[in-house]
Every structure is written in structure tokens, then in C-alpha cells.
Amino acid sequence: MDLTLKIWRQKDAKSTGKMVTYPISGIEGHMSFLEMMDILNDELIEKGEEPVAFDHDCREGICGMCSMFINGEAHGPDRKVTTCQLHMRMFEDGETIHIEPFRANAFPVLKDLMIDRSSFDRIQQSGGYISVNTSGNTQDANALPIPKKDADLAMDAATCIGCGACVATCKNSSAMLFVSAKVSQYALLPQGQVEAKDRVLNMVNQMDVEGFGSCTNTGACEVECPKGISIENIARMNRELMKATV
């Protein structure tokens, strides 16, 4: 495949960036999108140019590092995949591919396609935990009966990898899907009840402090989420917040 890449280049957090065009050829359908980026970078290095900086780590869809807004969608045109799991066969020979960083003021661009998602870490630190006795007297987990339905829903919520595709996709740069997944995974389980009230209040407050937008319920986030997190979690977080407020 021969492709034309239009990539956002930005020297550092302070510079203003711009889209730069790169032709690339010899791309195979079985390659992942990141392999294609590696090939581009090899070529740039050979030519003595600055390679394109992008986030990546596990390259198997579990770490949530790889980002990129590809052809107008977070993680590109495929569904329920991260960029490292996106195959080049999703594109056609001769196609132009637009590649931008995930954009939100709460996710400042560090360089090219690399962004700072530490706002997510601060939200998580503000309440995304439970207090457990780890002194050696830890209670056996099976001593607490949990309905299968709740266990499944909590597990589904816990599959969120914190990638930020929901924020990148949302017209409001809202982090509601991420925060609701983190709130839900505890709200559904008995272990989460002790701190339930403070958790939702603190996490939602932190979300607002970081400058994420609010939710218009467009549902775009759940369509683009690589883990299929449902906006039912957002409704649950809204219930949790109302319970904690009144």
C-alpha cells in the first residue's frame, strides 16, 4: 500500500504545531498502525529528520498508552481496538490518513502526538481506591457473597485502561466515561461502600478542577471506547453523586 500521512508536528508543549505531509509506501495490511509509524520513523531518521513522537508501551491493547486521533476518530476507524491493535488493512491503497494527538486542554500536547494524561492519575488518586487491611489478617474474598450480575458489571467497568479515547472523542472533552468506570467498579461491590460517598464527590470535583467538560449524553465515548465501557456507568455515577449530595 502507498499512503499519504498528514501528521501533527509540534516541537514541545509551548510551541504551536502544524500538520505535515509524509508519503509512505510498502505498507502491508497485516501491519499494525504503530508498526507503520515505526517504518515512517526509520525513514525519517535515515534522512536525518526528527522522528514523530508518539505514546506506546504494551502494544497489545492493555496499557492504554497509544493514543492518536486517526482520520477523525480516536484510535482510528475500527471498533473496540486501541491504536496498537488497529490493522493497516482498515485503510485503502492511496488513502490519505490524518493523524493528530488526542485533544483536550486537560491533556496538553507534550510533543507531536504525545500527550500528558496525568489529569487522569490525579482523578484516580482523589478517590479511585479502597482501604483494605493488608496486615496479614486479610479477610477471605469469598466470605463476602457478591451477586454474579454485580460482579460482572464491576469487572466490565474495571476493564477501562485509562486511555482517554472517551475524552478525545467527546465534543465537550468530557471525562465522564472514564470517571464513571472508576466509580462504578467500586460502587457495585461491598468493599467499595465504606468510601462510596467521598469517592464520587472527590473524583467528580477533581474532574471539574482539571477542566474536562460536562456530559451532553451524545454517546460518542462508548462507541469509541476500546473496552466497550457503557454509558450506563455514567448514569450510575450520576446516581451515586445524587445519593452523596442529598
Partner 1 sequence: MSQSKFTTIGRKVLMALSGFFLMFFLLQHLTINMLSVVDPDSFNSVSHFMGYNPVIQFLMQPILIFAVVFHFVMGMYLEYKNNKARSVKYAYNKPGTNSNWMSRNMIYSGLVVLAFLGLHFYDFWIPEMDFKYISGHEEEPTRYLVELNHKFQNPIKVGLYVLAFIALALHLLHGFQSSFQSVGFNNNKYTPTIKKLGNIFAIVVPALFAFVAIYHFLNPLHQ
Q: Which residue is nearest to ligand HEM (CB)?
A: 216
Q: Which is nearer to ligand SF4, 5 or 175 (CB)?
A: 175
Q: Which is nearer to partner 1, 160 or 166 (CB)?
A: 166
- What Å distances lie between residue 129 and 21, 182, 189, 199, 246, CA to CA? 44, 9, 12, 8, 23
**63 binds ligand FES, rule: CB under 6 A:** yes
Size of the site for ligand SF4 (CB under 6 A): 14
Contact residue for partner 1 among 207, 226, 227, 229 (CB under 8 A): 207
Q: Cα–Cα distance between 93 and 216 in angstroms, integer?
A: 37
Whether the CB-CB separation of 212 and 234 falls below 8 Å is answered with no
Q: Cα–Cα distance between 238 and 92 in angstroms, integer?
A: 42
188-217 positions binding ligand HEM, by CB under 6 A:
216-217
Contact residue for partner 1 among 213, 226, 227, 229 (CB under 8 A): 213
Q: Cα–Cα distance between 6 and 24 in angstroms, integer?
A: 11
- What Å distances lie between residue 130 and 121, 180, 193, CA to CA? 16, 16, 9
Per-residue cell: 72:
477523525
Size of the site for ligand FES (CB under 6 A): 13
**Parallel, antiparallel, or unpaired: how do β-strands 69-70 and 73-74 relate?**
antiparallel
159-198 positions binding ligand SF4, by CB under 6 A:
160-166, 177-178, 181
Contact residue for ligand SF4 among 61, 127, 128, 226 (CB under 6 A): 226
Residues that bind ligand HEM (CB under 6 A): 216-217
Residues that bind ligand SF4 (CB under 6 A): 160-166, 177-178, 181, 225-227, 229
Residues that bind ligand FES (CB under 6 A): 56-59, 61-66, 82-84
